[in-house]
Chain A
Amino acid sequence: GAVVSQHPSWVICKSGTSVKIECRSLDFQATTMFWYRQFPKQSLMLMATSNEGSKATYEQGVEKDKFLINHASLTLSTLTVTSAHPEDSSFYICSARYGGNTGELFFGEGSRLTVL
């Protein structure tokens, strides 16, 4: 299957700082990438849809000024958690769609964010 790389795997930061998470499609170009948040023992919560060259589309209830998404190229999307607080601590997972609007979804390894 297609490979999606996510970095860093885990990050610890102080409250008030910003953290950037990168998501790369390694062997295919992804026009669309998605960012999810997952709480312990729960399903995947879609945060936003990232489209290359345009603004991200955020799901209802997700603060776009808190979670900045940039999709500057066909292989890279970034999620920046701005002014992070302990309640932002979570497991963040990106995914990339392979092969158009009805293509398969491949996920990165996830990034564990802990805000102290």
Chain B
Amino acid sequence: QQQVKQSPQSLIVQKGGISIINCAYENTAFDYFPWYQQFPGKGPALLIAIRPDVSEKKEGRFTISFNKSAKQFSLHIMDSQPGDSATYFCAALDSGTYKYIFGTGTRLKVLA
């Protein structure tokens, strides 16, 4: 119940395409869902986040879609660029323990 299941493990997308990464959870105490982007040898950087009272949030080319009833959320990267090649982690904040639970990560490669 403490897990956040993330898929796919790796993803290859052509430049200009849409990258979609999915996450699912079971714990209803999770109430804040950020996405992080990590480049090799660097710490994760907060990309975009959503709370469960909205179904979608968009910031530039990045969009989170959130389905509260299905307990699923996804990251969409529009017009994917080679510079977007990185590992992406979804996460969820457990409002009971105040700890963040991380997904297993998705390695995205955008081909030029």
Tell me whether A107 and B45 are in contact in the complex, defined as CB-CB below 8 angstroms, given that A43-B89, A43-B105, A102-B98 are known contacts. yes
Interface size on A, residues (CB 8 A): 24
How would you classify the secondary structure of chain A's contact residues: helix, strand, loop or mixed? Answer: strand
Complex: how many Å from CA A109 to CA B44?
8
B contact residues around A4 at 8 Å (CB): 43
A107 to chain B, nearest CB (A): 4
Chain A residues near B41: list those with CB within 8 A.
Answer: 91, 110, 112
Q: How far is the CA of A52 from the CA of B93 in the complex (A)?
A: 20
- Provide the bound-state CA to CA distance between A69 and B49, in Å: 29
B46 in contact (CB, < 8 A): yes
**A107 to B95 Cα, complex, angstroms:** 20
Q: How far is the CA of A34 from the CA of B107 in the complex (A)?
A: 24
Tell me how many residue pairs across A and B have CB atoms closer than 8 Å.
50
The answer, yes or no, to whether A46 is at the interface (CB within 8 Å) is yes
Supposing A102-B93, A102-B95, A112-B41 touch, asked if A43 and B46 sit within 8 A by C-beta, the answer is no
Contacts of A75 in B (CB 8 A): none
Taking CB as reference atom, which chain B residue is nearest A6? Answer: B43
Nearest residue, chain B, Cβ from A106: B46
Interface residues of A in 93-107 (CB under 8 A from B): 93, 95, 101-102, 104-107
Q: Are B43 and A110 in contact (CB under 8 A)?
A: yes
Q: Are B99 and A46 in contact (CB under 8 A)?
A: yes
Which residues in A have their C-beta under 8 angstroms from that of B103? 43
Minimum distance in angstroms from A42 CB to a CB of chain B: 7
Interface: B62 (CB within 8 A): no
The answer to whether A61 has its CB under 8 Å from any CB of chain B is: no
Extra A-B contacts (20), CB below 8 Å, given A46-B99, A104-B34, A107-B45:
A32-B98, A34-B100, A43-B89, A43-B102, A44-B89, A44-B102, A49-B99, A93-B43, A95-B43, A102-B93, A102-B95, A104-B49, A105-B46, A107-B36, A107-B44, A107-B46, A108-B43, A109-B42, A109-B43, A112-B41
